Structure formats: structure tokens, C-alpha cells
Amino acid sequence: MSQHSEEFLVASEVKAFDLDHRRTINYNMGKYQTAVTKGLSRFNNLENSKRRAHTIKWKTIENLDKYLLEFEQNFTRKGGKVIWANNAEEANKEILQLLKQRNIKTVVKSKSMATEEIELNEVLEHEGIEALETDLGEYIIQLLGQKPYHIVTPAMHLSKEDIAKLFHEKFGTPVNATPEELTLKARELLRDKYLEAGAGITGGNFMIANTGSICITENEGNGRLSTTFPKIHIAVVGIEKIIPNLADLDIFWPLLATHGTGQNITVYNSVFSGPRQADELDGPEEMYVVLLDNGRSNLLARKEQREGLYCIRCGACLNACPIYQNVGGHTYETTYSGPIGSIITPHFQGMKEFKHLSYASSLCGKCTEVCPVKIEIHKILLLNRRDSVDEDMAPKTEMWGWYFWKNAMLRRKFMNGVSGKWKSWFMKTFFRRAWGKRRELPPFPPKSFNEIWKENHP
């Protein structure tokens, strides 16, 4: 068992019995479910929309090299520059070099899971560069020194009272401040930073191949401020975020908005196609796109599981997952938590260290049901489990247990010959720990079904 697996089990048990956490999450997810149900009802044919999105992503991922080169060609034609990064170290090195060459000491960041993935904030802080999160949820998490709890709503695990207490301790606001007052305080603190920052760093919800554009979707306007005021805009985007045409946004933007927050469309949807042109009034003087691999090629190489790269990061599968709802986002110890994180993290960060996430599932299939691009998440969880066994990563005790179980099940004489009492003893002796200390092993009946059938039907 890896260290990550042991820590996951310990943290999950603690969090599952944290009643305050459960109350906050149930409340926030209840509001989410109400909004999403209303939002999805506005689709004339939701299933058809999901199939169309799935087909577009299938086409793109199957021809990923072609579309990435098309994007680079179109983006550089407009004055932008593309940086290819094989891993987090390369991405951080290139970004750090850009900032140091221009003597930049402050950057503003719009919400980006890719920069969380490469731990950019920690790298910049170590080099004496202030990296300030401008999304309110990310800003709160940064003040707490935590990682995002959820890929869409990073502070979902906090109540308004928790946030009011944090702002009171940090900035002296009233301990009973309302959400509106807290938002105004955050605005007051952040506004001047946009003018001071030498660079703005963002992620990207989509990349458009045929126009060479980056699309950013957000609700607070901080994304536009982070890309307009600073002289340099750096976008860090996973290579799987590409789609073929600008017209494809007509299906992806509504699907992302409704499945992410229940909105018809997100408040701010921006398309960036390079630095400011001669006839334009605003925008950055320089624009860079860091195309991040960081394990994505490992997943792409697995034909049965590459479907995981279709994800548009809406967070719907997290909100539907009974495991996530009980253990929360921080227990996963990964950038991408919940069902989608469980299928991609073993390929991004190593199967040996993170195979346990593919077992942290009830396989109820709700994640697959709600996915807007029809990723068969529950199926990929099983494929990851299979691969971990094929690669000899299963514990020896587990292997021997299944060996004896298989041989016993294949021998009817053995099944009938051993009494229920001895079967129960065997299970309690050797499998109690695997079954879980909070569950009672069901006792075996005195006779098997086969024996009873023969007695009743001689």
C-alpha cells in the first residue's frame, strides 16, 4: 500500500464523520443540484447535445497532434508565442524565465487548475514573486494556505461564517459580515493589484484550432482584468483542451455552464487570439500559451482509457459522486479530485502511487450519467483496476485471496462440502480487515443454494 493510499484511508474516515463538513457540503451541493436541474431543463434535447460534444472531443483527441500544430500555426501568425512543456518542471522553468527577464515581481492569476497542477504559486513564491489569486474562491483558499477543494468551486467546503471569520482575522472586517460585504472587501483589496502586476497568468477552458484562440469562462470578471491590464498574458493550458472550430463553442459553452453551475451561459466568456494588435485599444503587449503535457500523453497512449481526456472540467461528476460527497476534495491529495480525478491521476502522476483512487468508488455509474461529454467514467475505473493488477501492483494477500476464492467457486464439491460455519470462520479470519471495520460480514447459511435445490427437487 502506497503512502498516498494510507493517507487517503485515514483522512477519508476522519472527514466522513465530520458533521460540520457534511452539513456544509450537503447545503452547497443541494443548491447546486437545484440550479443544475433547472438549467438542464432548458435543453431541447440534452442527450443529443452530449452525443455531439462527445463526437467532437473524440475526433479531436484521436487527431490531437494535427489540431495542436494547427493551433500553434494560427496563434503565432497573430504574434502569440507557444511554449511546449513536457512536464511541470519545464512549464515552471519557462514561466519563471519569462518573468525574471522582465524583472516582474507581482503577477495576478485568474482561476486555473493547470497552474495548480504544476504548483506554480509555490514556485513563484520561492523565487520572491508575488502570485495573487483574483478569483474570490481561490483567493480565500490562498489566504488559508489550502489547495482547492473542488475544480469549479474551490471553497465549497467553507460556510459564509467560516469566510467571515477568516476576513475578520486577516483584514479586521466584522465577524458577522454578510457575503456582499466580504465580496466588496475582496474587491477593494484586489483592484489595485491589477494595475501593479507585470503579468497576468490564466488557464484556458478551451483552445480553438482553426483560429488559434484561447477561451476563458468565468463569473467574476477577474479573468478579463487579469488579461487586460498587465502587459504580459501567460495562459497555461493542458493539451487536451483543444477543439477544432470556433463554432464548436455553441455546444461546449452551454454544456459547461449548465453542468458546472446551472447557468444558461457563464457571465464572462472571452476569446483571446494573441497580443494587442495595432488597431486594438486594449490587451497585453505579449501573449504566451504554455501547452502542458505532464502525463497526458501517458493517458493518450492507452486506447481504452484516453476518453478521460475528453473532460471539460465542469465538476458534475464530483457533485454526483457519493464517495466525494462523504470524504470531500482534500482527501484525494490531487489537483483533480472526485471520479474524473480518479481515472486521470494514476496516468498523470503514476499508477503505483495513485491506483487506490480507482478503487475509491461504489461503481454506481452516476458520474457517467451526468457527464456532459459522455465519458464512461465507471468503466475506466475498472480498466485502471485491471491495469494495476496486470502491472503486478496488487498486494500479495489480495492476489492469494482471489486465487483461493476463484478455485473454490469453480469446484461445486468444495462449495457443498464445507459447512456454512467453516465458511463464516474463514471469511472472518482472513477477510474481516478487507471488508471494513464498520461493516459486519454476512454469515453463511448452513446449506448452499445448490444443496437446498437438490433437496426440494430430487
- 19-40 vs 249-260: helix axis angle to the nearest 10? 140
* CA dist., res. 341 & res. 146, Å (int): 18
Total number of domains constituting the chain: 2
- For 103, the 3-state DSSP assignment is coil
* Dist CA 97 CA 123 (whole Å): 12
96 and 220 part of one domain:
yes
Q: What is the pLDDT of residue 250?
A: 95
Q: Which residues span the domain enclosing 406?
A: 397-456
CATH number, residue 175: 3.40.50.10420
Contact 243, 57 (CB under 8 A): yes
Q: Is 283 part of any domain?
A: yes
Rounded distance between C-alpha atoms, residue 62 and residue 233, angstroms: 30
* Position 271 in a domain: yes
Last residue of a domain, one of 294, 327, 356: 294
Percent of the chain residues topping a pLDDT of 90: 80
* 84 and 219 within one domain: yes
pLDDT score at 443: 83
What average pLDDT does the structure give for the chain? Answer: 92
Residues 103-147 have pLDDT tens digits of 999 999 999 999 999 999 999 999 999 999 999 999 999 999 999
Q: If pLDDT is split at 50, 70 and 90, which confidence band does 431 have? A: confident
Q: What is the pLDDT of residue 279?
A: 86
**pTM (global) more than 0.85:** yes
Total Cβ atoms within 10 A of residue 407: 10
Q: Are residues 144 and 265 in the same domain?
A: yes
Tell which of 261, 294, 327 closes a domain: 294
d(CA 173, CA 171): 6
Residue with the bigger pLDDT between 187 and 398: it is: 187
**18: which residues sit within 8 A by CB, 6+ positions away?**
none
Tell me, what's the pLDDT at 409? 80
Residue carrying the nine cell digits 485568474: 110
Residue 92 forms part of a structural domain: yes
CA atoms within 13 A on the CB side of 215: 25
Cross-strand pairs, 214: 207, 272
pLDDT confidence band for 81 (50 / 70 / 90): very high
Q: Is 81 exposed, middle or buried (0-12, 13-18, 19+ CB in 10 A)?
A: middle
Last residue of a domain, one of 259, 277, 294: 294
How much is the average pLDDT of 380-398? 89
Q: Please give the pLDDT value at position 233.
A: 97
Residue 109 sits in the same domain as residue 246:
yes
